[in-house]
Structure 1
Amino acid sequence: MVTTEQQAGARRLLETLEGPIRFALLKWALESEVFNLCQSPITVETLAQKMDLPPKSLALALRALVASGWMEHEEKQYRTAPAILPFVTAGGPHAMTETFRSMAQTRHAGLENLDALIAGTAQPAGPRLFDDAHWDASHRSLAAFHRAIAADVVEPALTALPEWPDARSFLEIGPGSAVLARRLLSLRPDLAVTLFELPPVAERIAQEASDLPISIVPGNYNDSLPENRFDIIWCSMTLYFHDSGLNALIARLVERLAPGGVLVSFHEALTGNRTGPSEHVIGRLLPALRHGDVSFCDGEIAGAMADAGLTRPTSQTLSTPFGHFRLDAARKEA
């Protein structure tokens, strides 16, 4: 007889079969803009006319969207679930359609060759580190991601720092967009903000932030860093691409801290011999097979900060809509 534990194991296996269907269904819903059309309750018949689709097959898709938690059904009418509406409404300030598409391309690329990637027989995937062209092409989706949800997560984490009220200068390493800078300047117009980014992305940010009183410095942190000293240096999901080791990169960042300044890191923290959290281990599997595993272990960045001479460390784990992340901060003595 199969045990209760084994039944649960069988359930986990069988539930996996839904994964590709859920992804394809969501992709169809975003591309067809059915979420937009269902902002207000609507019947299948009316929606079918608007979309020029057969009502019977459309009804099946809508039921599946309800089962997935993305739509609601009441009194023969369907509507987009309010919890996801801001993120799936095309053209809205929090729209994530472009972000979803870009992230899917990154995370799913090579899926059809998974066995060859694991066996090491797949065609060479190019350099281990993503290049300038990759990030240049990702700028719009990154900016959308920052506007949609990321800035809402990291802004309070930054402004809760004890150094925040008195900080005079702020450096963001690899910002990807000016979204966070705009938010911070709305709170502290007196803050001197510097964004350090790869040259092609820096040009795009300069256009995006032409109305902001900020300094945008192009470069690669493996070659150079801005010459000034900063009260806060912020590194969010950007320290992966060091070419001389994490400790060497952290040490160079510490040189750019003003006395009494704080270095802040917002990155994943793998646990359990790099087997969790699942969203990072599974979500990054294909990029890791193609380009190398660059994810950080729990405490790895904090250890590098201590090795570089920073003191008074603080850390906390944040549960975000895009996974669990560790916020590490450490200070340079005055």
Structure 2
Amino acid sequence: MQRKFFFEQQLFDLILGPIRWEVFKFSLENNLFDWLSKDVSSKELSKKFNWCPTHLELILNALTSMDILSKKNQFFKLKEAYLPLLSGPKSTDFKKTLLHLNKIKHINFDSMSNAVKGIQDTRIFHENYWTEAANGLLSFHKSIRNKILISELIKSNILVEDFKLLDIGAGSSTLAKEILNIVPSMQFDLFDLPHCAEMIEEQIPSHSKNMIKTIKGDMNKSTFLKKYNVVLTSMCLYFSKNISDTLQKIKNALLPDGYFVSFHECISKDRTKPQFHVVGRLPIELRNGPLSLDNEAFKKIF
């Protein structure tokens, strides 16, 4: 019976997506998970928030069905794997990242209708849009991206004393600061759009300003004047208007034995897989047009 109605079930499951997120978002924004690091009943938990225990239990049951909580003898607890991500002070940046991604990866009917009609989304022209974007990047970098990147850079033996690194579209200074804790003599140029570069400059502590510099510019217009041991691009090449031209400028900025590091999402040739990438990037692509990297361009330049 289940196999017979598999596709009907798949379509009905689409309806539950927004409900799952709202249950999770409600829990995040009320810091509910901070109280669930230990076994607690809905009655006990409701007293901390002055909520109805019966209705709170319905929400906790939903989180349990989503496999985020466990339930035993009417007591609920956050599953062990989620503790460092959702509970306690160390989870702050990851929770901020999730809530920021909610803003940029969700889209409503009206916005989608405007996009297919060619009506431009004007939010990207407002300064506060880029301020929010930069703040979102800061949390994303601190919570997960830097861990992945630094692990890969260490494995590839790229973190070397006295190396000079250019970070294009840096978004924040956190990666440079974390690398300096590992390799104190590395030097960094953080390249970003003028408004973002100014925000990054404010993040750099005075004792690191000799090692971390900011450069204002636009990779579609600017030329990189120095030579570097490492050039890093993270999630920024999607916005290159001419990928071959940008990659050539990057190659020109590298020393003969330099390293080019590209940290971007992959997509299938027909642009339909993986679903997380294709669906997740749909809102921003509807605002800016298709964003993808030409693998052939990489092969020609590097």
TM-score (norm 1): 0.82
1:106 alignment partner, SS class:
helix
From 248, 261, 264, the counterpart of 2:261? 264
From 182, 187, 193, the counterpart of 1:187? 182
- Give 5+ residue unaligned stretches, structure 1: 311-334
Separation in 2, partners of 1:84, 1:204? 31
1:305 partnered with 2:301: no
1:96 alignment partner, SS class:
helix
2:93 alignment partner, SS class:
coil
Separation in 2, partners of 1:163, 1:284? 30
Separation in 1, partners of 2:291, 2:17? 25
Conserved 8 A contact 1:33-1:90: no
Distance change >3 Å, CA 32–CA 103, structure 1 → 2 = same
Separation in 2, partners of 1:82, 1:184? 29
From 219, 222, 235, the counterpart of 2:220? 222
From 50, 55, 69, the counterpart of 1:71? 69
- Give 5+ residue unaligned stretches, structure 2: none
Once the two structures are TM-superposed, the CA of residue 14 in structure 1 deviates from its matched residue by 1.9
Separation in 2, partners of 1:57, 1:22? 16
**Equivalence for 1:291:** 288
From 187, 196, 204, the counterpart of 1:209? 204
Distance change >3 Å, CA 76–CA 24, structure 1 → 2 = same
The alignment-based identity, stated in percent, is 25
Distance change >3 Å, CA 83–CA 225, structure 1 → 2 = farther
1:171 partnered with 2:166: yes
Conserved 8 A contact 1:196-1:226: no
**Equivalence for 2:11:** 13
Separation in 2, partners of 1:278, 1:114? 21
Once the two structures are TM-superposed, the CA of residue 77 in structure 1 deviates from its matched residue by 1.6
Conserved 8 A contact 1:89-1:95: no
Letter in 1 for 2:133: S
Cα deviation per residue 1:225-258 (whole Å; 9 max; x = unaligned)?
A: 4421001101011112223x11011111111111
TM-score (norm 2): 0.90
Greater strand percent: which structure?
Answer: 1
Number of residue pairs the alignment of both structures matches: 299
Separation in 2, partners of 1:27, 1:237? 25
Conserved 8 A contact 1:66-1:72: yes
Greater helix percent: which structure?
Answer: 2
Distance change >3 Å, CA 258–CA 89, structure 1 → 2 = same
Distance change >3 Å, CA 163–CA 151, structure 1 → 2 = closer
Once the two structures are TM-superposed, the CA of residue 135 in structure 1 deviates from its matched residue by 3.0
**Equivalence for 2:41:** 43
Separation in 1, partners of 2:175, 2:257? 23
**Equivalence for 2:140:** 145
Separation in 2, partners of 1:49, 1:133? 38
From 117, 122, 126, the counterpart of 1:121? 117
2:214 alignment partner, SS class:
strand
Once the two structures are TM-superposed, the CA of residue 277 in structure 1 deviates from its matched residue by 0.6
**Equivalence for 1:134:** 129
Cα deviation per residue 1:246-285 (whole Å; 9 max; x = unaligned)?
A: 1011111111111111211111121151100110111111
From 221, 230, 233, the counterpart of 1:232? 230
